């Protein structure tokens, strides 16, 4: 059974990334004090991947409102990322992406996060790293299904709600809904109202 990274310090990373149309080295410490959505995808020039990458990019402002940044990552080179970003979306390309895409050419980052398969590609792994640099949430799944931007936003908002109020968020919680007190007696207020 794979060991979880949740509640542990996020594995450090430092690598070249495509940012806009240029390259820059980025590292985990660049995001200290912010929420970070670090997501892995299998390969450039594939099928499900561009739908995820562009969906996160199109909603980057919603993440910024939550004090969160996004970084994508695959085992491809920065030059492959650039070539894919220059291909129009209507042809399966990325177009302009509003966050960095790491070039994990050594596969070290994918290996450190436990998503590398057969030393070849990364599974679809998504990690929420809190402002203290610890992993608060991870989801890793097989290659054929894309992730939900809505769910990622919901989970960040829920963790921030817990941090702010000390109360916990029940199943399907979203902003504005009731939370519950993490106490065997006081939690009954939530259950009584929900019944």
Q: What is the pLDDT of residue 2?
A: 62
The model carries a pTM of 0.94
What is the CATH superfamily name and number for domain 14-147?
Answer: Glutaredoxin (3.40.30.10)
Domain ranges of the chain: 14-147, 150-195
E strand map for the chain: 14-19, 22-27, 35-40, 68-74, 101-103, 116-117, 121-122, 124-129, 135-141
Torsion-angle region of 142 (φ positive above 0: left; ψ -120 to 50: alpha; else: beta): beta
Buried b vs exposed e over 9-48: b needs ≥16 C-beta within 10 Å?
Answer: ebbebebbbbbeeebeebebeebeeebbbbbbbbbbeeee
Catalytic residue among 18, 49, 157, 169: 49
49 is catalytic: yes
Q: Mind listing the pLDDT tens digit of every residue in the chain (195 residues)?
A: 468 999 999 999 999 999 999 999 999 999 999 999 999 999 999 989 989 999 999 999 999 999 999 999 999 999 999 999 999 999 989 999 999 999 999 999 999 999 999 999 999 999 999 999 999 999 999 989 999 999 999 999 999 999 999 999 999 999 999 999 998 888 888 888 877
Q: Give the torsion sign (CA, 82, 43, 61, 10).
A: negative
Q: What is the pLDDT of residue 1?
A: 43
Structure tokens at 157: 């908002």
β-strands 68-74, 101-103 pairing: parallel
């Amino acid at each position: 059974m794979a060991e979880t990274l949740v509640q542990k310090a996020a594995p450090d990373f430092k690598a070249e990334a495509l940012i806009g149309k240029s390259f820059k080295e980025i590292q985990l410490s660049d995001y200290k004090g912010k929420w970070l959505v670090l997501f892995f995808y299998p390969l450039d020039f594939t099928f499900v991947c561009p739908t995820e990458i562009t969906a996160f990019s199109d909603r980057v402002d919603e993440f910024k409102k939550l004090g969160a940044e996004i970084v994508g990552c695959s085992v491809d080179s920065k030059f492959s990322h650039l070539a894919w970003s220059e291909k129009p979306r209507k042809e399966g390309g990325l177009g302009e992406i509003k966050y960095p895409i790491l070039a994990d050419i050594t596969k070290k980052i994918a290996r450190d996060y436990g998503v590398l398969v057969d030393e070849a590609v990364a599974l679809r792994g998504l990690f929420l790293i809190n402002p203290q640099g610890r992993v608060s949430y991870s989801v890793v799944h097989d290659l054929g299904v894309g992730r939900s931007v809505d769910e990622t936003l919901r989970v960040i908002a829920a963790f921030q709600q817990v941090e702010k109020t000390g109360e916990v968020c029940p199943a399907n919680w979203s902003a504005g809904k009731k939370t519950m007190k993490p106490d065997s007696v006081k939690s009954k207020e939530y259950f009584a109202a929900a019944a």
